[in-house]
A = this chain, B = another copy of it.
Amino acid sequence: MIDTVIRRLERFAPLSADEKLALRNATSGPVQRLPAHHDLVRQGEPPGAAHLLLLGFACRYCVLPDGRRQIMAYLIPGDICALGACMLERTDHSIGTIGPVEITQLARERLVELTEHFPQLTRALWRSTLVEEATTREWMLNVGHRTALARTAHLFCELFSRLHAAGLTSGNACELPVTQSDLADALALTTVHVNRTLMEMRRRNLITFRHRHLTVHDFGGLQSTAGFAPGYLHLNDPSPFGAEPPAHEGAGRAASATDSLPARAH
């Protein structure tokens, strides 16, 4: 798994052998198993350590005074959780597991050491947090401007693309260990409406999502209903289904030609 992380970081900056070794050493601690709904970092507390997520899903979230939860990012295997939080003195959000997960710690002091000695590695890590920020901005577009259908489609496009890049898809399907309620919290919708939207998406033969298992029937259709342009993910990977000009590319929405996504699985 650490190889996946290094490969991803090297897209952001070339790493020397020393830097790779240092990163390996920093993440070579014991593997911890954690249950579902367990907080790695809690809002308002000083950050403990960062964590490399090996298995399972986690999320960055906030809880509002009235108890509603907003999920601000999904974290998938290969992601470093709480890297940003770890660089600040006080965290303004929580990071928690969704289902059971496996992680390995990346101690805060080690991280500070790394950033003091290795400028290229630092740049790579910085850039990876910038991509997270770009994703957050895209989510802001999602909750602010898109209809429930487009919004949900967009989330599925993003997750499927990221899981594909991480090698966690098989064909046009993948495991997505989240409940409809987790989706609702990420989409700023109610579970009731997420359910209706999922029904509608199945009716349109875009996707089916059952038993925490996602099948994409028509990625092109999904993409165009979402207005999904994957550039912000900075994946640079071959897209899940080949190549096709991204749909809905009107004024200003930019997408590089190399990472467009295709119309139809099978």
List chain B residues, Cβ under 8 A from A212. none
* Interface status of A70 (Cβ within 8 A of chain B): yes
Instruction: Tell me the nearest residue of chain B to A188, going by C-beta.
Output: B144
Bound form: Cα–Cα A248–B188 in Å: 20
Is A38 engaged at the interface, CB distance under 8 Å to the other chain?
no
Interface residues of A in 42-86 (CB under 8 A from B): 43-45, 60, 62-68, 70, 72, 84
Specify which chain B residues have a CB less than 8 angstroms from the CB of A253 in the assembled complex: 43, 62-65
Quick one: which of A136-164 are within 8 Å of B by CB?
Answer: 136-141, 143-145
Query: Shortest Cβ distance from A66 into chain B, in angstroms?
Result: 7
Q: Is the CB–CB distance between B63 and A251 below 8 Å? A: yes
> Is A36 engaged at the interface, CB distance under 8 Å to the other chain?
no
CB-CB < 8 A to A140: which residues of B? Answer: 70, 72, 136, 139-140, 143
A30 on the interface (CB 8 Å rule)? no
A248 to B92, CA, bound (A): 16
- The residue in chain B whose Cβ has the minimal distance to the Cβ of A11 is B89
B residues in contact with A188, CB < 8 Å? 144-145
* Apart from A44-B231, A122-B126: 19 A-B pairs, beta carbons within 8 A: A62-B141, A63-B251, A64-B250, A64-B253, A70-B141, A70-B144, A70-B145, A88-B131, A88-B234, A90-B231, A90-B254, A92-B134, A92-B232, A93-B137, A129-B129, A132-B133, A136-B136, A136-B137, A140-B143
Chain A residues close to B by CB (< 8 Å)? 43-45, 60, 62-68, 70, 72, 84, 87-90, 92-94, 115-117, 119, 122-123, 126-127, 129-134, 136-141, 143-145, 188, 227, 231-232, 234, 248-256
